[in-house]
Amino acid sequence: MRYCSQCGSAVQMRVPVGDNRPRYVCPSCGTVHYQNPKMVVGCLPEWRERLLLCRRAIEPRYGLWTLPAGFMEQGETLQEGAARETLEEAGAQVAIGDLYTLFNLPHIDQVYLLFRSRLLNLDFAPGTESLEVALFSEQDMPWMDIAFPVVRETLRLYFRDRSQGGFGLHSGDIVRASGGLVRRYRIALR
Ligand SMILES: [Zn+2]
């Protein structure tokens, strides 16, 4: 952030009086611009034995597969956000079910909340953020081309739970472990 959204002055990074961490503060109007983590909501759309995935038409991870998910909007519930993102990215209508995974991603200031869901029909089509949308069974999951660790871990848990005959809520942390050429992540489930 460079300029104050209230008055247009250049902001400064400093610890406000009574606070304990640096914030963007406007020296002209005094507004403190707090920045807080974003919630990413999405779902695992089920159709019989298969799951619907989207191939990304945008960076990051262009061309790789992911579950429909995106930033929650103001004024909506988690479930409404998950259904909206699924409609936007996959043109798919779903009935949102139980919360399935909740992951903290503190290195990018995001919290992921992914729900199980039931695809209501097969009238899906890629939205502007997707190159293609397709149903995958466990055997033909594109494991090598999954866009994000949080999605790969959620899919891994899903197929493990399904083989064991029951789905529970899973929560944990996914933290980038090193900054080398190959990104590594530490995944800790609770
Ligand atoms: Zn200002």
Kindly report the number of other CB atoms within 10 A of residue 166's CB atom: 6
% of the chain at pLDDT higher than 90: 92
Query: Taking Cα atoms as reference points, which of 22, 21, 27 lies closest to residue 11?
Result: 27
Cα(174) to centroid of ligand 1, in Å? 36
Which pLDDT value is given to residue 185? 86
Cα(71) to centroid of ligand 1, in Å? 27
Cα(29) to centroid of ligand 1, in Å? 4
Cα(123) to centroid of ligand 1, in Å? 48
Cα(23) to centroid of ligand 1, in Å? 13
Which pLDDT value is given to residue 180? 67
> Is it the case that residue 40 has pLDDT exceeding 90?
yes
Which pLDDT value is given to residue 184? 81
Cα(5) to centroid of ligand 1, in Å? 7
Cα(12) to centroid of ligand 1, in Å? 10
Cα(73) to centroid of ligand 1, in Å? 25
* Cα–Cα distance measured from residue 45 to residue 18, given in angstroms and rounded to the nearest whole number: 46
> Is it the case that residue 186 has pLDDT exceeding 90?
no
Which pLDDT value is given to residue 72? 98
Kindly report the number of other CB atoms within 10 A of residue 61's CB atom: 15
pLDDT tens per residue across span 125-150? 999 999 999 999 999 999 999 999 99
> Is it the case that residue 77 has pLDDT exceeding 80?
yes
Cα(33) to centroid of ligand 1, in Å? 9
Q: Which residues pair with 69 in a beta bridge?
A: 42
Higher pLDDT, 186 or 102: 102
Mean pLDDT value across residues 12-39: 96
Average pLDDT, the chain: 96
Mean pLDDT value across residues 8-17: 96
Checking phi first, is residue 17 left (phi over 0); if not, alpha (psi -120 to 50) or beta? beta
